[in-house]
Amino acid sequence: MIFADDAARNSSRELLRVENLAKRYDGETAIARVSFSIAAGEILGIVGPNGAGKTTLLEVLAGLLPAEQGVAFWCGEELPQQRRKEALFYLPDGIRPYQDRFAIDVMTFFARVYKRTEAQVAATIASVGLTPVLGKRVHALSKGFSRRLLLGLGLLTPHDVLVMDEPFDGFDIRQTRAIIDVIRQEAARGRTFILAIHQLADAERACDRFLLLAGGKVRGIGTLGELRAKTALAGGSLEEIFLALT
Amino acid sequence: MRSHEPYRARQAPLAPLLAKELAEIVCGRALWTMLLLVCPLIGYSFVQAVSLYGEASASAQQSPVLAASLSPLDGILVPTFGSFYVAVTLLFPFVAIRVLGQEKESGALSLLVQLPYRSSTLILAKLTAVLAAWTLVSIPALSALAIWAMIGGHLAASETVNLLFGHLLYGLLVGAIALFAATIADSSATAAIIALAVTIGSWVLDFTLAGHSGVAAFVAQLSLTQVLRPFEQGLFSAGLVLGGTGAIAGLSALASVWLLPGVATQTKCIRSVPCVLATLLTLGLSTQIRQTIDVTEDRRNSFPAADQRLLATLRLPLIIKVYLAPEDPRYGDLQRNVLAKLDRAMPNVLIVLAGSRRDAASRPANDTYGEIEYSYGTRSDVSRSTSPREVLPLLYALAGVQPPAAAPGDAYPGYPLVATADATLFWFIGGLPLLIAGAWWWSRRPPVISLFTCKGAQP
């Protein structure tokens, strides 16, 4: 379901808008007519259970999967699929890039590609807490440090929008809070985040707005307050709202 | 505050991408394993070649005619690099596949394609890594050449460079096939099956269809092994270089089309059509280019210089009708001694193979079998000889020109060398593998992390 008033409310500082994205796998609908918009510096959580279509939505959005239908707009201008990588950077779930290389080598590679200074690299490494494992090979990293490495790579990119699939998977509660702080600091500097999260509690802590996805369809979109008003669940948690809408 | 301008791809530097690709290939076990396997293979071939060459040289010490037939190209270079060819055919696909397969399997490809590089740039960087890998795996073969020179063996620069270039072209072709296979396959294992099916398949094709005529001969010409043949014979063929380069470029272009994950298969197929057409056009064009240079010191692919000059002035079409089956050994002699040389020396030669296997079987009933008919202008003559000593005067008579006077002093002396290289086997099975293992260990050392990076700094 699309909330037109929500889009209108944000249109003045709207950075990215997506209209009617659709994707099918072998005749089965993965995502159906998904539309949303996001403002600069906002953290949008795409929330839904496993199989809801979150990853497909992110990959279609990032241009890594061909879509059957749909358009994306960047600051009001159409952003064709082949130019998405100029505006968005997508960090997939469950990958360990360059497993035989050392963590510092992978960070250095991204830093050199995007012409980052040593000070910027050092600050990024410190912010995501990668320092203890810089001399380890990627395949030897724990799941949590592997996530931190990915986040570090994302932060080294100059893109305005970072799209992350399950960014808190593999973290305990303290680590999740620390990573949320990092994301919030980046958002405060103007970076925009689209996070696909299946843990509703994590999403509630991390995100400004939520897109509730189930069966490939948008079931609701808005801030927690807006969703509470829509479901008439004053004081309801995101979990209760999600159950009410799906 | 951020500007919200899209990040422009054209600004990205190439150096980190190339450094990453080279580091990736050096990090993998495939390269080092191949290097270690190639050492004894090439070492054994080299030692055997030197031993046989030494025995032949001992017999030739009393006979200048026999000595003149001793060329290091045939005796040492081709056998030594023959084992390198086998290694490149069977093992190099595994090394080349790694430049993409590993990224595909680990998911790093989804990050790589988002970096500010075009897919063609990514593929070119990977092809550069394949070239670097080929250079590394050729070290044992190059060390064999160095040993040959050190024990007093002769190396003709043009022959050696030409042969090395041929192997480079073949190695890059195998690498490009492997790279394309890695692009279209889901896993490295599938890519390896595809690449080996092509390389070994064309090898088998070459063996089974050798000496056949007609369609079988045409199919055998498509074998990858054919890329190396002229270089092993001491010929630099412009058409072959164009064809090989075109095939490498075509495969690379196809790989860059199929690399991008966000494009529908149908679109990729449509985008592949121009690549395939351009490649086929280049290959077709390459078959029409007949320019070759004989780089051998003994000029084995050419008539004597005076004859070459005179034959080049005979502008009318020369039609040669050969009544021999392709599998007849006389045809092989004729092809090597006369036809191939005439084809290179004269501007307009048409060779018609009129004999067949059936003619050979029914030879008693067919009087023309074994004849070679030469037609130049309005005149023609028939011969059964496969030697240029008889054929060239016949051609000059047909053309009505005087045979050139033989130029003295340009006879090939031959380079006999009575030597043994048995001791060098220790280099190939001991010293060189140890050095390679050391380099492998060195390449895996942990990086130096600066104190600045460890402590963290404020941006």
Say yes or no to pLDDT of B278 above 90.
yes
Cα gap B104→A83, rounded to integer Å:
22
Contacts of residue A90 in chain B, CB cutoff 8 Å?
110, 114
Say yes or no to pLDDT of A8 above 60.
no
User: Given this model, what pLDDT does residue B289 score?
Assistant: 86
Residue-wise burial string across B142-161, b where 16 or more C-beta atoms lie within 10 A, e elsewhere: ebbbebbeeeebbbbeebbe
Chain B nearest-CA distance from A236, in A, is: 35
Are the Cβ atoms of B13 and A115 closer than 8 angstroms?
Answer: yes
What is the number of structural domains in chain B?
A: 2
Cα gap B248→B253, rounded to integer Å:
9
- The 10s digit of each residue's pLDDT in B135-177 is 999 999 999 999 999 999 999 999 999 999 999 999 999 999 9
Does residue B245 fall inside a structural domain? yes
User: Given this model, what pLDDT does residue B139 score?
Assistant: 96
CA angle A42, A48, A50 (to 5 degrees): 130
CATH code for position A34: 3.40.50.300
Say yes or no to pLDDT of B276 above 50.
yes
Of A101 and B410, the one with more pLDDT: A101
Are the Cβ atoms of A97 and B107 closer than 8 angstroms?
Answer: yes
Contacts of residue B443 in chain A, CB cutoff 8 Å?
none
User: Given this model, what pLDDT does residue A7 score?
Assistant: 39
Using only C-alpha atoms, what is the Rg of chain B? 27
Q: Which of B204, B205, B199 is nearest to B181 (CA)?
A: B199
Does residue B456 fall inside a structural domain? no
CATH code for position B378: 3.40.30.10
Contacts of residue B453 in chain A, CB cutoff 8 Å?
104, 118, 121-122, 125, 134
User: Given this model, what pLDDT does residue B458 score?
Assistant: 43
Q: Which of B410, B299, B408, B414 is nearest to B61 (CA)?
A: B414
Say yes or no to pLDDT of B288 above 90.
no
Would an 8 Å CB–CB cutoff place B21 in contact with chain A?
A: no
Residue count of chain B, please give it: 459
Q: Position of tokens 């995501």? A: A128
- The 10s digit of each residue's pLDDT in B291-313 is 889 999 888 888 888 888 899 89
pLDDT tier at B369 (50, 70, 90 boundaries)? Answer: confident
- The 10s digit of each residue's pLDDT in A119-129 is 999 999 999 99
Q: Could you tell me the residue range of the domain that residue B350 belongs to?
A: 315-399
User: Given this model, what pLDDT does residue B220 score?
Assistant: 72
Would an 8 Å CB–CB cutoff place B103 in contact with chain A?
A: yes
- CA dist list (Å): B66 to B76, B137, B234, B412, B418: 17, 36, 20, 11, 14
Would an 8 Å CB–CB cutoff place B446 in contact with chain A?
A: yes
**Which of A109, A110, A120, A182 to mutate against chain B (most B CBs within 10 Å)?**
A109
Cα gap B373→B222, rounded to integer Å:
29
What whole-number percentage of chain B has pLDDT above 90? 51
What residue in A sits closest to B268 (Cα-Cα)? A66
Would an 8 Å CB–CB cutoff place B456 in contact with chain A?
A: yes
Contacts of residue A87 in chain B, CB cutoff 8 Å?
6-7
Contacts of residue A113 in chain B, CB cutoff 8 Å?
12-13, 16-17, 115-116
Closest partner CB to B106 (pick from A98, A112, A159): A98
Task: Give the rounded distance of the alpha carbon of A79 from its chain centre.
Answer: 18
Residue A203 token pair: 């999403």
Say yes or no to pLDDT of A94 above 50.
yes
CA angle A191, A166, A239 (to 5 degrees): 100
Does residue B305 fall inside a structural domain? no
pLDDT tier at B290 (50, 70, 90 boundaries)? Answer: confident
H/E stretch holding A17 reads strand A14-25
Are the Cβ atoms of B261 and A65 closer than 8 angstroms?
Answer: yes
Looking at the fold, whether B212 and B343 belong to one and the same domain comes out as no
What residue in A sits closest to B259 (Cα-Cα)? A64
Looking at the fold, whether B222 and B336 belong to one and the same domain comes out as no
Say yes or no to pLDDT of B439 above 90.
yes
In this prediction the ipTM stands at 0.90
Chain B nearest-CA distance from A82, in A, is: 8
Contacts of residue B20 in chain A, CB cutoff 8 Å?
98, 109
- The 10s digit of each residue's pLDDT in B59-95 is 888 787 788 888 999 999 999 999 999 999 999 999 9
Amino acid identity at B323: Y
What residue in B sits closest to A162 (Cα-Cα)? B114
- The 10s digit of each residue's pLDDT in B194-229 is 999 999 888 887 777 666 666 776 777 778 888 888
Cα gap B398→B335, rounded to integer Å:
20
Say yes or no to pLDDT of A9 above 50.
no
Does residue B91 fall inside a structural domain? yes
- The 10s digit of each residue's pLDDT in A51-78 is 889 999 999 999 999 888 999 999 888 9
Say yes or no to pLDDT of A3 above 50.
no
Q: Position of tokens 């005087």? A: B402
Say yes or no to pLDDT of B459 above 50.
no
Looking at the fold, whether B80 and B229 belong to one and the same domain comes out as yes
Chain B nearest-CA distance from A47, in A, is: 22
Any bridge partners for residue B374, and if so which?
B320, B381
Chain B nearest-CA distance from A9, in A, is: 20
Q: Position of tokens 């949320």? A: A180
Q: Count other C-beta atoms under 10 Å from residue A104's C-beta.
A: 25
Are the Cβ atoms of B102 and A189 closer than 8 angstroms?
Answer: no
Does residue B457 fall inside a structural domain? no
Cβ–Cβ under 8 Å, residues B320 and B351: yes
**Mean pLDDT across the stretch A194-223?**
91
Looking at the fold, whether B184 and B321 belong to one and the same domain comes out as no
What whole-number percentage of chain B has pLDDT above 70? 90
Chain B nearest-CA distance from A131, in A, is: 6
Cα gap B69→A148, rounded to integer Å:
68
Cβ–Cβ under 8 Å, residues A42 and B238: no
Q: Count other C-beta atoms under 10 Å from residue B445's C-beta.
A: 8
Specify the 3-state DSSP secondary structure of A22: strand
Say yes or no to pLDDT of B129 above 60.
yes
User: Given this model, what pLDDT does residue B269 score?
Assistant: 95
What is the number of structural domains in chain A?
A: 1
User: Given this model, what pLDDT does residue B5 score?
Assistant: 60
Please state at what angle helix B139-150 crosses helix B29-60, rounded to 10 degrees: 30
Does residue B451 fall inside a structural domain? no
Chain A nearest-CA distance from B102, in A, is: 8
Q: Could you tell me the residue range of the domain that residue A177 belongs to?
A: 4-245
SS3 labels along chain B? CCCCCCCCHHHCCCHHHHHHHHHHHHHCHHHHHHHHHHHHHHHHHHHHHHHHHHHHHHHHCCCHHHHHCCCHHHHHHHHHHHHHHHHHHHCHHHHHHHHHHHHHHHCHHHHHCCCCCCHHHHHHHHHHHHHHHHHHHCHHHHHHHHHHHHCCCCCCHHHHHHHHHHHHHHHHHHHHHHHHHHHHCCCHHHHHHHHHHHHHHHHHHHHHCCCCCCHHHHHHHCCHHHHCHHHHCCEEEHHHHHHHHHHHHHHHHHHHHHHCCCCCHHHHHHHHHHHHHHHHHHHHHHHHCCCEEECCCCCCCCCCHHHHHHHHCCCCCEEEEECCCCCCHHHHHHHHHHHHHHHHHCCCEEEEECCCHHHHHCHHHCCCCCCEEEEECCEEEEECCCCHHHHHHHHHHHHCCCCCCCCCCCCCCCCCCCCCCHHHHHHHHHHHHHHHHHHHHHHCCCCCCCHHHHHCCCC
Contacts of residue A114 in chain B, CB cutoff 8 Å?
12, 116
Are the Cβ atoms of B2 and A189 closer than 8 angstroms?
Answer: yes
**Which of A12, A86, A162, A193 to mutate against chain B (most B CBs within 10 Å)?**
A86
Would an 8 Å CB–CB cutoff place B458 in contact with chain A?
A: yes
Q: What is the DSSP letter of A37?
A: E
H/E stretch holding A163 reads strand A161-165
Would an 8 Å CB–CB cutoff place B443 in contact with chain A?
A: no
* Least confident stretch, A198-212, B9-23, B230-244: B9-23
pLDDT tier at A5 (50, 70, 90 boundaries)? Answer: very low
User: Given this model, what pLDDT does residue A6 score?
Assistant: 42
Looking at the fold, whether B384 and B439 belong to one and the same domain comes out as no
Contacts of residue B2 in chain A, CB cutoff 8 Å?
40, 160, 189-191
Cα gap A194→A45, rounded to integer Å:
6
Chain B stretch 57-96, residues whose beta carbon is closer than 8 A to a beta carbon of chain A: none
**Mean pLDDT across the stretch B350-364?**
65
Looking at the fold, whether B248 and B172 belong to one and the same domain comes out as yes
Does residue B308 fall inside a structural domain? no
Cβ–Cβ under 8 Å, residues B47 and B391: no
Looking at the fold, whether B326 and B262 belong to one and the same domain comes out as no
Contacts of residue B440 in chain A, CB cutoff 8 Å?
none
User: Given this model, what pLDDT does residue A124 score?
Assistant: 93
* Least confident stretch, A68-77, A136-145, A232-241, B339-348: A232-241
Closest partner CB to B115 (pick from A74, A100, A113): A113
Entry pTM = 0.87
Does residue B197 fall inside a structural domain? yes
| pLDDT averaged over every residue in chain A | 88
Cα gap A176→B178, rounded to integer Å:
42
Residue B26 token pair: 């050096």
Q: Phi-psi category of A51—alpha, beta or left, where left has phi over 0 and alpha has psi -120 to 50?
A: left
Specify the 3-state DSSP secondary structure of A219: strand
Q: Chains A and B: how many Cβ contacts under 8 Å?
A: 141
H/E stretch holding A147 reads helix A143-156
Q: Count other C-beta atoms under 10 Å from residue B53's C-beta.
A: 26
Would an 8 Å CB–CB cutoff place B2 in contact with chain A?
A: yes
Cα gap A106→A149, rounded to integer Å:
9
Cα gap B51→B41, rounded to integer Å:
16
Are the Cβ atoms of A81 and B13 closer than 8 angstroms?
Answer: no
- The 10s digit of each residue's pLDDT in A137-158 is 999 999 999 999 999 999 999 9
User: Given this model, what pLDDT does residue B224 score?
Assistant: 84
Looking at the fold, whether B335 and B376 belong to one and the same domain comes out as yes
